[in-house]
């Protein structure tokens, strides 16, 4: 094992795949000359040159469309959005072309493309730069949605996403790029659609993904002091979702809390809850609790932002609620 920052794991995954397959290229704002807005493509221009590491104007609709067209013609583009908030400018290309071209062409075209960049809040960036769009994209048939929470998962999942023959939405976090973690030496991939049990437990299942899962780890450490054993599942891939791992855990613990940084209406947590009550209702000893942001645009004020986001104290309260210990 070696220790890498999250940004280094992303760069390593892209570089390894680009060395393996010359149809792969990276395109986006500041990915080349500036080494990436978050330095996640550092050194790649020097290695691969300006034909494969391509700076673009501030025109997400334009370069998303170029990526889709080139994917239909045999390339495997990686399109970087400086933040997924800006993907809204290019969302027509993602939803109406990338996600649908295989079906609309009767299987004559596929679209092996990765759209990647940070999602959700990252401090005081205010309402228009603090949005989580995982559930938006996961609602679209034809798209796969991946949200890693650590460097090792990020590298393995990104390599699989680049090799996938369908469009993949790969969501990172500005607040995770500096995170360090152990990453396996040598070649490895992690299959899409497989969740990971990050912490074994017996009393309650906590399901989460992305950077907010850190709050679940903090809560589990505190709850352990009170003799409460938490099992933590990292979804890693939102779509396709690994329902089997979730159901197996709930059948063991009989209680579930879901932690997701997203608005509360119609999100990933609600989809999980539907499947659990449909397939494992008789195993539940308490109603499921889901923790989300407040149902408002993200505030700029640091005091209000702290109230807007769910945190480890909220997780502790939710776990004690489903255990009837409040």
- Residues designated catalytic: 60, 129
What is the enclosing helix (H) or strand (E) of 28? strand 24-28
Give 120's contacts (C-beta < 8 A, 6+ positions apart): 130, 131, 132, 171, 173, 210, 211, 212, 261, 262
Residues comprising the chain, all counted:
326
How far CA 153 is from CA of 76, 157, 165, in Å, comes to 21, 6, 20
DSSP letters of 104-125?
HTTTS-----EEEEE-S--SS-
The number of C-alpha atoms within 13 Å of 183 and in the hemisphere containing its C-beta is: 28
How far CA 123 is from CA of 129, 130, 301, 303, 306, in Å, comes to 10, 8, 10, 11, 9
The pair of structure tokens assigned to 13 is: 């995954």
């Amino acid at each position: 094992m070696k220790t890498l920052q999250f940004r280094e794991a992303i760069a390593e995954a892209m570089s390894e795949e680009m060395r393996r397959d010359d149809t792969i290229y990276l395109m986006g704002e500041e990915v080349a000359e500036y080494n990436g807005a978050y330095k996640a493509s550092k050194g790649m221009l020097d290695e691969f040159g300006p034909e494969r590491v391509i700076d673009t104007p501030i025109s997400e609709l334009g370069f998303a469309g170029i990526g889709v067209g080139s994917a239909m013609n045999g390339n495997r583009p990686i399109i970087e959005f400086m933040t997924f908030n800006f993907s809204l400018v290019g969302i027509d290309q993602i939803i109406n072309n990338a996600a649908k071209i295989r079906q609309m062409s009767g299987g004559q075209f596929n679209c092996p493309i990765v759209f990647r960049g940070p999602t959700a809040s990252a401090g005081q960036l205010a309402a228009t730069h603090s949005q989580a769009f995982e559930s938006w994209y996961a609602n679209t048939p034809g798209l796969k949605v991946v949200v890693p929470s650590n460097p090792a998962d990020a590298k393995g999942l990104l390599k699989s996403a680049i090799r996938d023959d369908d469009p993949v939405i790969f969501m990172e976090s500005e607040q995770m790029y500096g995170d360090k973690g152990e990453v396996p030496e040598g070649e490895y991939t992690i299959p899409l659609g497989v969740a990971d049990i990050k912490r074994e437990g017996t009393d309650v299942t906590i399901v989460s993904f992305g950077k907010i899962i850190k709050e679940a780890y903090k809560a589990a450490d505190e709850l352990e002091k009170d003799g409460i054993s938490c099992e933590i599942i990292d979804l890693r891939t939102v779509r396709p979702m690994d329902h089997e791992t979730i159901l197996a855990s709930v059948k063991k613990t009989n209680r579930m809390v879901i932690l997701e940084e997203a608005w509360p209406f119609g999100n990933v947590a609600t989809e999980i809850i539907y499947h659990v009550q449909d397939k494992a209702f008789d195993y539940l000893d308490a109603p499921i609790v889901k923790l989300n942001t407040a149902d408002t645009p993200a505030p700029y004020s640091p005091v209000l932002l702290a109230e807007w986001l769910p945190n480890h104290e909220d997780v502790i309260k939710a776990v004690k609620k489903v255990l009837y210990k409040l």
